[in-house]
Amino acid sequence: MNARRFDAVLFDLDGTLVETSPEIADATNDLLRDLGLPPVTQPQVDAWIGHGTRELLVQALAHVRQLPRDAVRADGAMPTIAAQFDRHYHRRCGTHSRLYPRVMQTLQQLRGQGTRVGIVTNKEGRHTERVLAAHGLPALLDAVISGDSLPTKKPDPAGILQCLRQWGVAPARALFVGDSRIDIATARNAGVAVWALPYGYNMGEPVADSQPDRMIDDIGALVAA
C-alpha cells in the first residue's frame, strides 16, 4: 500500500508528529506542586495521553489522591484546578517537545506532490496552535482540527470527515496516521485507511494490537520509494 495513492493524509499530533509528553509532564507536576501533592512520573503521563489535557489532569489527580476518576470530575474545585493547569500547560507548550524523525521533510514532500495535509487531535486548540508554531508546522498544514474545534472529538470521526468534505476528497482516497487505538478507531469510524507508529502514546498498550492497516517505523515511510 503506497501513500501516493492517497489525496489526503491526516495526522494525530501528540506521539505522532511531536513528542510532547515531557512538557505535559512538566505542566502536570507544576500543578501538583501548587496543590501540595506528590509528582507523577513520565511513564505515567505517557499512559494518560490521548483524551485531551483535561482528562489527563483527571487521571493524574485520581492517581495521587487515590480516588475514583468520577469523584475527581465531580469535585467542585475542578474548574479552578483545570484553569490553573491550563495556564501551566500553555506556558510549557513548545518548551520541552521535539519533532519526531523526518516529520518536517515528509510534510514538505507530501505538500510538494499535491497531497492535502491536516491534523486531527484531541488537544485543545490554543495549546495545539502553540505547539505547532514552536515547531514551524502551520505553513505545511491545510487544516487543523483540535479537541475543542467541534462538538465531539476522537474517536468520533467528525474531524476527519470535515477535512475531507472541505477538500472534496473521498474517504477511499484518504489516510489517517496515528499512534493509538483512539486514532485507529477514529479512522475506522470515518471509513479511511489507517497507518500507525510504534513510538507514541497508547495508554501502555502495543498499538499493533489494534490492527491498523499498516505499521510504519516513522512517517518517512509515507514518501519512501
Q: Grid coordinates representing 213?
A: 492497516
Dihedral pair phi/psi, residue 19, rounded to 5°: -80, 100
Would you say 40 and 32 are in contact if contact means Cβ atoms under 8 Å apart?
yes
| CA–CA separation, 85 and 31 (whole Å) | 6
7 is catalytic: no
Catalytic residue among 7, 12, 30, 209: 12
Q: What is the largest CA-CA distance in the chain?
A: 55
Lookup result for grid cell 515528509: 106
Hey, which residues does 195 pair with through a beta bridge? 177, 214
Positions annotated as catalytic residues are: 12
